[in-house]
Structure 1
């Protein structure tokens, strides 16, 4: 199994209490740690407002961070899970991503999806199109980006995007363009797009849901004659580990104490339950066993979010020397 980790950027209230002038250093320190270890990739979220409550707490912009990490790391691959297609013109996004790929020496990944966070869509003036429209934008956008990266320019007269000879030079360093991660498990459209263009998918859920989505993805691949095995399936996991169940619980208590003043008691209880039900929560033995089970069902890539990372790296270090060492 291959492993990636999210860098705290504020979106999930994971930089609270750190002064704005020190937040880049906190993020950079985490990236340096990941870059120096066994992680294959680091990830950021493409959001503008905190979740689950929009607030004035920091949320740093994804592609600005991508460029900064491209310059400040040397080995690790760089991705977003995931870029919202509706937030940027796809020809412009192709240009941005190509530049980041050049800066990084060919280490960029493109996680891309239709978007869902209605509050920030409307706040930034993007409206909030219905799901079919958002997925139509995704379909056209990935075609524009793929064309630009392969040929150095893109032309498309689509329903949602119109570009006419948009030049994207220099092209990405990676042969064939930047790898596409199609995020989301929509069975009729998203997974169909993934079957056509993705090198990776990203969807979550129970093991039964993962199996079902995998079956649907295989069916879409079969329908167009593409080998299903060409696509690596990934999932994201909220991760808090301990040597014992008590230690894991103490770590979760610390996270919730920091989070609760910003989200309120009711939401905090729901978030606690989500952590407790995550395959990434528990003792190192429990988490390794759950991930090994997913691996046996075809999960090839696990991307982990550690809510402690900006404050305490002992949990991620425990994960590295135990779970990762066993499953890599």
Structure 2
């Protein structure tokens, strides 16, 4: 069996990390594993194992015929039987299946705005779903939405899994060791960095020597400008640091004292699983499947989205009570290891793939 993971880019987003994790993990099974980045490469490329067959398509547009034919030739040459398309790459995968009908097509829905599914465009996706053999969803809300709107019969929930990133340390966090808060999330509105910055400003009134570290792609857009302006307006430029995309995420988390994810919408965020693997005390908002990872007062602190007072109090609690922070971090590590392991998730994927063999 030969399987190709199809993804738009290798930037440091959640769907992209999942595609790389899948390709790498499957290459350690009986599967011949491949990975194709269609539009852009990125920092994640350095983490692709040599046992994974890799192709960069350099696709220039939605209907780049030259790129489509190149990928088709690659698939035929390598005798690939299954395309596992992530996020928006479903359209290219559908075009390939139309020209090469024997391919089996699995689509992986990573839609991050699962709290706002009523806004989701669906016409093209619905038409393409006629050609999907299976759909994986990163949370149960997406399962319900897909079953309601798509033609695909086989739709299932598949939790993400994380692995420790072995990229050598490249990023040295600023601030004082033992007093750092890290948020691993691309600078997008649904990640709610503005809320986090406002909460941290209040924390500084009690703990003025702590620092906040925002790690994730900076799109240099209006949202990014707004965040930087807010940091300046609040006069906390010496306490809040933006790093952009970094390849050494595990090394960054290792330098954190606390980890947070204040999103207003999520699937099942890889960041929480990565925090858990590095045994960090964590605060998250109760959106998407976050409650499966952060069980309130057991594996961390889970609060309602946009509850500023609760978020501030949660940070102060974990700063003040180191025994509680240590308890949460140890229990989070145990929980993630038990329920979101690489072996468990890969076995679920293989079970679906084998239906097509």
Normalised by the shorter chain, which TM-score bucket? 0.3 to 0.5
- TM-score relative to the length of structure 2: 0.36
Greater Rg, structure 1 or structure 2?
A: 2
- TM-score relative to the length of structure 1: 0.39
Relative contact order, higher structure (CA 8 A, sep 6+): 1
